[in-house]
Amino acid sequence: MDLAQSFLGIFLDEVEDTLQHWESDCLKLNKGESKAAALQSVFRHAHNLKGTAKSVGQVAFAEFVHSAEDLITLLMNDKIACTPDTVALLLECQAVLASWGAGLRADPQHVEQTQALAARLKLAASAGGLQPLQKLSSVTKAVAGDIFWADEVNTQSKAEPGSAAPATGEQVPLDVVKVAPGAVPVAEDTLRVPVARIDALIRLAGELAIQSAILTNATRNEAPMERQTQQAAALIAKAVSDLQTEALNLRMQSVGGLLQRMERVLRDVSRQLGKEIAIQVSGSEVELDKSVLERMKDPLVHILRNAVDHGVEDKETRVAAGKAAVANISVSAEQTSGSVTLTIRDDGKGLDKEKIFSKAVEKGLIDPSSKLFDADVFSLIFLPGFSTADRVTDVSGRGVGMDVVKRAVDEIGGKISIESSRGKGTTFQINIPSSLSITDVIIVDVESNLYAVPIQDIEEVVHINSLRAETVSGSSMMINLRGKVIPLKKLSMFLSNTESRESVESDRVAIVARSGRDSVALEVDRIFGQQSVVVRKLDGKLQKVPGFSGGTILQNGEPGMIVHLPTILNHFAQERAGS
């Protein structure tokens, strides 16, 4: 219900916005300025409005817009003349729709009385003699199911101008918008496209990028070729890479909707618990891949509920502690290169280290004698079956949740961290890749096999020779990395195809990865440098092979496996525990 209402809100915002354009276009028509462009613009606004109205279930609204759209189409095709009377009629429609929108804000069931005006529209349209939009409406109906809004497709630069219009099958002059002097750029025009279509496009662009990389590789290494050919190959590579970026961008959606939903949840929960909380939201314009966005929804809402329920104290406690009576919670999204950081910060009582520790001991999750850093204590709450809530409430504290949050973040290759100080508040920070399909990797050679290791899992790359490597207690190698002694493992111990052999190379390298508090250096035979790869999901059986998160096609056209370092570190840790 909440969601439907928030959709309606978005729709009504769009109605207001669109009607403003509608009005200005009609005024232009009245003045006789760039008639074709103005008509086409009105048409597009009407068409989009109809689509949105349908998607939020405002069928009557959509139907009325549809009848206006009919008239505009006839005008566009010169089936009827564009007289001041018809323009006045369009303006009247605009006014009625504006009043309808205002009515809906007050009452979601509101239906404006439009019969008289609709009849006049029909009458005016009948002068043109046709019902040209039958086809279009059926197209709109067919586009059902998994649909999202390709946000802010700039009609002038990205999409075909008048991209909505060709669906009518009518001849519409496509470049009028560009040519017409004084035409207002339609910046926020949108197009509804099924996700499957965009995914197909991304898949194709990905394949193209791979083949193009192979080609580029060949032009570098093989016999010298004509300058022109070389240039063409370079240009193709550039265009393909742009194409891929653009295709991937189609899946990007702003986090605005998610943040809005969180704001709403916070209002509801705080009211329910009788807590007074001010919320600050920032970074609505940050974009995330649609699938990432969807997967982050529940985890974020869960963290927020926890913050309201457990994090923030009630008014009396706050005042007694000398804090402002109204609590603050901020939710922000921030774009960094290739990743997005989501932060939820409250100024509540902070996490109780001792309580978490003793709870974890009580549940047998840790050894009572263990000595842990703050961050490690906090991350105990991500363990399955951990909950410190004294009472089980409706809002949170069912003992499920934080482990689910952690898992959801892990699944998309993100990281979650907690900072908290007693009496001052808690900050959850989630760092997630902004797009799932492309990832930056380092290519490493292990026993003459190339693997891709995601950069996000790597802390640093070190030359072992320059560091002191020592054998400790007989078998395990340790290296001294800037005063910190960390174990050195051969990655080939996990990724082994053949009998392991002694490394005699003088230039030994290792990648350093972190698991929890411990860093581990993993020796590889060679490092080939960094590249961006398109991640392919592995098919059924291959998925089960341990140590890999996916596959990719390397620049030379060979398949390459994407290594999942956390699994491998886990394997080594278990080995250590077992020995």
Positions that interact with other proteins (CB under 8 A): 206-207, 210, 449-450, 494-497, 536, 538-548, 551-553, 557-561
The residue among 479 and 524 lying less far from other proteins, judged by its C-beta, is 524
Helices (H), 195-338: 195-221, 227-249, 256-273, 290-306, 315-320
Q: Is residue 264 within 8 Å of residue 281, measured between CB atoms?
A: no
The residue among 241 and 330 lying less far from other proteins, judged by its C-beta, is 241
Q: How far is the CB of 200 from other proteins (least distance, A)?
A: 13
Helices (H), 274-424: 290-306, 315-320, 353-362, 374-379, 402-411
Residue type, 384: P
The residue among 423 and 557 lying less far from other proteins, judged by its C-beta, is 557
The residue among 161 and 560 lying less far from other proteins, judged by its C-beta, is 560
Q: How far is the CB of 326 from other proteins (least distance, A)?
A: 52
The residue among 209 and 277 lying less far from other proteins, judged by its C-beta, is 209
3-class state of residue 277 by DSSP: strand
Which residue shows structure tokens 């079956």? 385
d(CA 557, CA 452) in angstroms, rounded, equals 14
Q: How far is the CB of 81 from other proteins (least distance, A)?
A: 55
Number of Cβ within a 10 Å radius of residue 470: 12
Q: How far is the CB of 243 from other proteins (least distance, A)?
A: 15
The residue among 385 and 546 lying less far from other proteins, judged by its C-beta, is 546
Q: Is residue 100 within 8 Å of residue 61, measured between CB atoms?
A: yes
d(CA 300, CA 295) in angstroms, rounded, equals 9
CB burial of 497-517 (b: ≥16 within 10 Å; e: otherwise) equals eeeeeeeeeeebbbbbbbeee
Q: How far is the CB of 240 from other proteins (least distance, A)?
A: 13
Q: How far is the CB of 237 from other proteins (least distance, A)?
A: 17
Q: How far is the CB of 531 from other proteins (least distance, A)?
A: 16
Q: Is residue 18 within 8 Å of residue 45, measured between CB atoms?
A: yes
Q: How far is the CB of 540 from other proteins (least distance, A)?
A: 2
The residue among 352 and 447 lying less far from other proteins, judged by its C-beta, is 447
**Shortest CA distance to 132 belongs to which of 179, 189, 66?**
66
The residue among 20 and 556 lying less far from other proteins, judged by its C-beta, is 556
Length of the chain: 579
The residue among 222 and 354 lying less far from other proteins, judged by its C-beta, is 222
Count the helix, strand and coil residues of the chain and give each as a percent rounded to the nearest 5: 45, 20, 30
Q: How far is the CB of 211 from other proteins (least distance, A)?
A: 8
3-class state of residue 406 by DSSP: helix
d(CA 43, CA 29) in angstroms, rounded, equals 13
Q: How far is the CB of 564 from other proteins (least distance, A)?
A: 12
The residue among 141 and 541 lying less far from other proteins, judged by its C-beta, is 541
3-class state of residue 364 by DSSP: coil
3-class state of residue 234 by DSSP: helix
Q: How far is the CB of 433 from other proteins (least distance, A)?
A: 20
- The strand ranges marked E within 376-517 are 415-421, 425-433, 438-446, 449-454, 458-463, 469-472, 476-481, 484-490, 509-515
Q: How far is the CB of 461 from other proteins (least distance, A)?
A: 21
d(CA 563, CA 457) in angstroms, rounded, equals 10
The residue among 266 and 554 lying less far from other proteins, judged by its C-beta, is 554
The residue among 348 and 551 lying less far from other proteins, judged by its C-beta, is 551
Q: How far is the CB of 205 from other proteins (least distance, A)?
A: 11
The residue among 186 and 534 lying less far from other proteins, judged by its C-beta, is 534
Half-sphere exposure of 316 (CA within 13 A, CB side): 1
Q: Which helix (H) or strand (E) holds 531?
A: strand 526-534
d(CA 240, CA 110) in angstroms, rounded, equals 49
Residue type, 505: E
